[in-house]
Amino acid sequence: MIDVLFISGKTAPISVLADAVRTLGAEGARVSYAASVPAAWISGQLVDIDFTDTHRLSTYNRRRNVELPFGERVWLRSRKDPWLRDHARQAHVLVALDEGAVYTVWQLAHRNRAAKAVYGLAPAIDAVRDLNQREDGPARPRGAFAPPPSVIARDFAKTMQRLPASTARTLTAKPIMRSSIGARLWRLPLRVPGVPASIRVKTGLRVNEAMNWAGRHSGGAYALALTASKIKDPAIKAELLDKAVTQEINRGTNPKHMAAAVQALLAHADGLQAAERYEEAAQALQRALFLGFHRVVHIDQLTSPLADDPEAFVKRFHGSNAMRTVMTPRGRVRPAAPAPTDRPLRLLVATSANDNFLHHILDRYRNHHGVEVRYLDVATQPSLKRISWADKRMIMERMGGDDEYAELVEDLLRPHLDWADTVFLDWCVGPAAMLTTVDPGDTRIVVRLHSYEAFTRWPHLVDFSRVDDLVFVGDHVLDLTTALVPQLRGPQAPRTQVLYNAVELSEFPRAKTDEARFSLGLIGVGQVVKDPLWAVAVLRLLREEDERYRLVLVGGDMDPKSSRATAKYRSKMEKELAPLAKAGAVLRLGPTDDVAGKLTEVGFMLSSSVRESAHLGLMEGAASGAVPVVRDWPFFAGKVHSARTVYPDSWVADTPEAAAERILRINATEESWRHSAKLAAEHALSTWDWSVVSADYDRFFLG
């Protein structure tokens, strides 16, 4: 015999109850009934229904509970009821007849995990029939709360449409949503077919809210993605997936649903563009690019899907009609004029706030008799600053929906373009996309791309048919960017050139202290990409052999406010460094204006980064006579160009173990260390010092 327990928080339709009890009886079940209703209703209305037993649950609310939602009140006033506990313990099927009983049934199901817990009469009948089909009878292995088939999902979804917010919050309370039982229960109405879109979306948003509130953040994002997978409306689908991915990004994690979100946003953008709704299309495409190239995914992590397989990563973008419109080269009316021979070259050097790699270039050409220099920092010009990062307006303009943007750029930049023979714009980001909005006339346009820009959306918004030369700092970054951006492989692609950064290294060779042999240096620890924990791993291996080894960190710390991903790495790093710093094995110098002076205490210079363009700090360390130990930057390792082609192969180590082995081998004697240090300094000064590299810039600018 199968025992079924009905529970309701209010009166139920008598005829419906009677029919259900008769059906269940025919299936071999006996039904007991408990309800939080007036006593007269129990005694007067249920006499003709063949219940095995009936019981009235208390309707009294303690003062502290009166403000709680109804479903929670039902449970709190009946949870200690001996009759209810006894019958729930013996039941094979627990049935909530209304929303007010759902929370109580859920609580009882936690206590009797062998029982099926369902919501509604139809699922109750299905549950009994399912038990009858079991060869071993109604008893089932003890396990998690197992909701019934799709009927319960539809019932839940329909109920959600009419539930007030307070009741819905009770049904998605923290205890429920923190459990795997509750989480699975609420996924059913999101997954089942046939639910109206408006109900499905409302339910999905409610479950997402509750999951996040209960700390099950991945479940919250999954609820939105699951809801979106059943929605046909492209705008709603894109919005739900955008929300899911944004929530994951805000927690500093790689979103599981990024591909689906980007695809949905691109499809939405394509549809809007076809309908000539350009502003909305630009917004959707901007979101696709913003999310797809988000810094949390590519910059504030130790891996990037973009680096793993560049062609596969950008394929979905290039399949979008809207994106192809934006990336269509528009060319220029006439080519750049050759450098003048009858007057100095007019060179406009431009950037936006970041002039870290321009100082020596500006100094050289400001004092060059054959060059007249002007400097433009668009971040200091409010009118230019406002439009130089306005990617949505750039996209609209390419689609034909914002002629005013092009006119504004023309008005602000044309005086600079008319004056300059050559524009040298550092960093391939927003200002580069803005600059190529207009035809530059016969002015030569040069853009320099370092490394991080390749992991952003900006190169995909630059019209490279209006760029004459694209300068890279390393061949490995050139290879990656060319694989990512189709315009760089097309007939109107700019010339590409690799030029080392302008670095003055002559001040770095100085005498080392006696303790320098056992000091490892790392310059620059302010970004996750620098991965100082790799350097810590090397230090630990060395200290297992000799406790004189220590690690000297130079530079400002990571800003935890930049992203949650950065904050997580910083927290992990601090935990690793704390005991080592206390033991004197790690010295944190912070920012300094005297890097050369600090390097007199460093005998080995590490590059622990996962990616670099060239790593200025490593070059400075090598020039100082610190023996270089370079991690084979994982973003480029194994490719045609990598850290092994930027530096001598003998400097590069695949693992912390290989790095430690190189250090121990070279440092076996002081003579061996000094010899390696001398060779490193000679290579650095003869290869990267500005006295050498400046000639390459002269040829590049002046011919």
**Cα 129 → chain centroid:** 47
Q: Indicate the pTM of the whole model.
A: 0.77
Q: Write out pLDDT tens, residues 455-480.
A: 999 999 999 999 999 999 999 999 99
Q: CB-based contacts of 520: which residues, under 8 Å, 6+ apart?
A: 535, 538, 539, 542, 549, 550, 551, 552, 602, 603, 604, 605, 606, 629, 663
Q: Are residues 12 and 141 in the same domain?
A: yes
Q: Note the pLDDT of residue 443.
A: 98
Q: Note the pLDDT of residue 163.
A: 45
Establish if 328 belongs to a structural domain. Answer: no
**CATH code of 129's domain:** 3.40.50.720
Q: Are residues 387 and 494 in the same domain?
A: yes
Mean pLDDT over each residue of the chain, to the nearest integer: 91
Establish if 531 belongs to a structural domain. Answer: yes
Q: Note the pLDDT of residue 71.
A: 79
Q: Which two tokens stand for residue 167?
A: 């009741």
Q: Are residues 480 and 550 in the same domain?
A: no
Q: Which two tokens stand for residue 258?
A: 């990024």
Q: Are residues 12 and 89 in the same domain?
A: yes
438 lies in which domain range? 345-498
Q: Are residues 520 and 390 in the same domain?
A: no
Cβ distance 521 to 626 under 8 Å?
yes
| Structural domain ending residue among the three candidates 127, 148, 169 | 148
| Structural domain ending residue among the three candidates 148, 173, 207 | 148
What's the domain count of the chain? Answer: 3
Q: Are residues 663 and 536 in the same domain?
A: yes
Q: Could you tell me which residue, 185 or 333, shows the higher pLDDT?
A: 333
Residues above pLDDT 70, as percent of the chain: 91
Establish if 435 belongs to a structural domain. Answer: yes
DSSP state of 577: H
- SS3 at position 694: helix
DSSP state of 557: P
Q: Note the pLDDT of residue 643.
A: 97
Torsion 206-207-212-213 (CA) sign: positive
Q: Which two tokens stand for residue 702?
A: 């002046």
Q: Write out pLDDT tens, residues 610-660.
A: 999 999 999 999 999 999 999 999 999 999 999 999 999 999 999 999 999
Neighbours of 88 (CB within 10 A): 23
Q: Helix 70-78 to helix 99-111 angle, to the nearest 10 degrees?
A: 40
Q: Are residues 458 and 548 in the same domain?
A: no
Q: Are residues 409 and 549 in the same domain?
A: no
Q: Are residues 441 and 563 in the same domain?
A: no
| Structural domain ending residue among the three candidates 130, 148, 166 | 148
Establish if 81 belongs to a structural domain. Answer: yes
Q: Are residues 351 and 446 in the same domain?
A: yes
Candidates 215, 240, 235; CA nearest to 280 is: 235
Establish if 243 belongs to a structural domain. Answer: no
Instruction: Give kind and range of the element (H or E) at residue 372.
Output: strand 371-377
Neighbours of 572 (CB within 10 A): 11
Q: Are residues 374 and 457 in the same domain?
A: yes
Establish if 270 belongs to a structural domain. Answer: no
Q: Are residues 488 and 527 in the same domain?
A: no
Q: CA–CA separation, 400 vs 394, rounded Å?
A: 10
Cβ distance 415 to 391 under 8 Å?
no
Q: Note the pLDDT of residue 346.
A: 99
- What does each C-alpha distance from 195 to 184, 206, 346 come to in angstroms? 17, 15, 67
Establish if 108 belongs to a structural domain. Answer: yes
Q: Write out pLDDT tens, residues 8-44.
A: 999 988 988 999 999 999 999 999 999 999 888 888 8
**CATH code of 533's domain:** 3.40.50.2000
- SS3 at position 634: coil
- SS3 at position 689: strand
Establish if 508 belongs to a structural domain. Answer: no
pLDDT of 508 above 50: yes
